[in-house]
Amino acid sequence: MKKRMLGKSGLEVSALGLGCMGLSYAYGPAPERQAAIQLIRTAFERGVTFFDTAEAYGPFTNEDLLGEALAPFRDQVVIATKFGFRDGLVSKGQDSRPERIRDVAEAALKRLRTDRIDLFYQHRVDAAVPIEDVAGAVRELILQGKVKHFGMSEAGAQSIRRAHAVQPVAALQSEYSMWWREPEAEILPLLEELGIGFVPFSPLGRGFLTGTIDASTSFDKTDFRNILPRFTEENRRANQGLVEVVAEIAAHKAATPAQVALAWLLAQKPWIVPIPGTTRLHRLEENIGGASLELSADDLREIETALRTVTVQGGRYPAQLQARVDR
């Protein structure tokens, strides 16, 4: 697989990473541990060198899983993890106090079976802690050699600028896909200006862009999508037009909708590295195929024209979770 640089940070990763959250959290029953380890190792064998986790995924179990899976080739991969929730529990809200950041780093190093965290993200901006203090705490960890690069997630432009002035931000991780394009307005230009890489999560619209979800789909009771406005039955039905557009383009390219969605993201900027997640080996193989799909300028114009005909229905998050997204 081709490699990409995350902005001007010097951090080189595979063009596609692997989002590991779903292997233990948020999308229904997790796969058996050995099956999850095999999937992670297969991703590495297929050229993926960038793996994303967080203390909140589980909590804690995802980091432990990734640490075991990547131990045989630790020095050949880039591991990203995150701090920012009280006791590692999303339900308890944010906690990015410097002492908490230090504690999370020490615990993550043990779970990941490593001596350094390649990319350490603030999971969500904490309104109770000045972002300069957060960046300063990560800067100290970098000076100690425990962290290599600082990242932010779902951060707004002002927070990014303020943090970057204290400790250069290597990457921003936020949602971006054909059905969530808000970052194009303000965030992408800012990242280009500052030389920060962009790591889109949910690049396949939490599975919707794959064409495998429709109005009749039933999610497991523990699946996070049950509470998302965009995934109500009514909105799934209303949003099928977007899937149809992507599927039609995919048919012309002898590709799958997922591959087109990923190739489209990769074509936006050379410093964008999507991190699709999956629990299935055949989906992993399919996603990796998206990294080698070439979209011409004509293809991209056709896609843009088609996407303009579709208005996506439903909010990205319910109100209580949307409130955590920094502006």
Active-site annotation, residues: 57
- Picking from 307, 313, 308, 300, the residue whose alpha carbon sits closest to that of residue 237 is 313
- The answer to whether 241 and 310 are in contact (CB under 8 A) is yes
148 and 119 Cβ atoms separated by less than 8 Å: yes
Instruction: State the Cα–Cα distance between residues 307 and 253, nearest whole angstrom.
Output: 17
Name the strand (E) or helix (H) holding 300. Answer: helix 297-307
SS3 199: strand
Do 295 and 265 touch, CB atoms closer than 8 A? no
Distance CA 309, CA 245 (A): 9
> What is the β-pairing status of strands 12-14 and 3-5?
antiparallel
Whether the Cβ atoms of residue 126 and residue 163 lie closer than 8 Å to each other: no
CB neighbours of 225 closer than 8 A, spacing ≥ 6?
27, 206, 207, 219, 231
What residues form DSSP beta bridges with 171?
A: 151, 197
Distance CA 302, CA 295 (A): 10
3-state secondary structure of 130: coil
- Write the DSSP string, 145-197: TSEEEEEEES--HHHHHHHHHHS-EEEEEEE-BTTB-GGGTTHHHHHHHHTBE
- Torsion angle of C-alpha atoms 200, 84, 14, 76, degrees rounded to 10: -170
